[in-house]
Amino acid sequence: MEAVDFVRAALDEDIGPGDLTTMAVVPLELAGKAHIRAKDHLVVCGQELAELAFVEVARRYGGGVAFEAVVPDGEWATHGDVVSRIEAPYRVILIAERLALNLLMKLSGIATNVRGFVEAAGSDGPRVVDTRKTTPLLRDLEKYAVRCGGARNHRHGLYDGVMVKDNHIRAVESLTLAVERARQEAHHLVRVEVEVKTLAELNEALSTAADVILLDNMNRDQLAECVDLARRKRPEILLEASGNMTPERIAALADLDLDFVSAGGLIHQARWIDLSLKFDD
């Protein structure tokens, strides 16, 4: 879904046939300026969507909009900072206010949470990547917020990457067979990743045509043993660790020779960041 289509659908949900309060109270000709201010320390994300909310309301109800992203997406803001400025008819500002704030609060929350994971990994540690644990229909937005936070996106969906997981293996009763079938069907530019949970499974996976091995739900000692084995047998293979990843755990794994750590918590453990919109004095 394109951003503008998403914003229009979100406005339809909120406005319905019309904002009863604003349309009754605020005359059409009144206009002025407002600002959005941070009430917490955050990595800003969602400025384009916030602007689209005001622009789309103005398209429906009339009037022009001037929107300034004072703090760009991906940059830090602290408590009290003005992150956005808006000039428009008061009706437009009031009707679009909640959607604009909701988008900024949700996406900035993800970006801020992600930044903590990335900083824990450090510049020499593994690259932090997300997962498909996203809110249905909001994946594009949430994965954009992940990038604003400084991490990378894993596959976007089932269609752009091969990941042979434990249930695939159980279905065909063979890790090797599952990887072989995936490799035969996958486009030559698509990597094949396989999930392992034990040293024995890793040893089997290293004998297949897998390009990436996911070391799932292992403690530090198990991960260290697996990394050592993989680097000796297939130095070129990419290694990803996953399972209950937190910034603290990632920091403790940073010295292992892992290529990636993936964490669903980048998105689903993020809290909304508090922001407020006020009219200028």
Which residues are part of the catalytic machinery? Answer: 98, 133, 165, 195, 216
- Measure the CA–CA gap between 190 and 192, rounded to whole angstroms: 7
Please answer whether residues 163 and 180 qualify as being in contact, where contact means their C-beta atoms are separated by less than 8 angstroms: no
3-state secondary structure the chain: CCHHHHHHHHHHHHHCCCCHHHHHHCCCCCEEEEEEEECCCEECCCHHHHHHHHHHHHHHHCCCCEEEECCCCCCEECCCCEEEEEEEEHHHHHHHHHHHHHHHHHHHHHHHHHHHHHHHHCCCCCEEECCCCCCCCCHHHHHHHHHHCCCECCCCCCCCCEEECHHHHHHHCCHHHHHHHHHHHCCCCCCEEEEECCHHHHHHHCCCCCCEEEEECCCHHHHHHHHHHHHHHCCCCEEEEECCCCHHHHHHHCCCCCCEEECCHHHHCCCCCCEEEEECC
- Measure the CA–CA gap between 151 and 144, rounded to whole angstroms: 10
Here the tokens at position 224 are 């260290």
Q: Which of 103, 127, 88, 121 is nearest to 44 (CA)?
A: 103
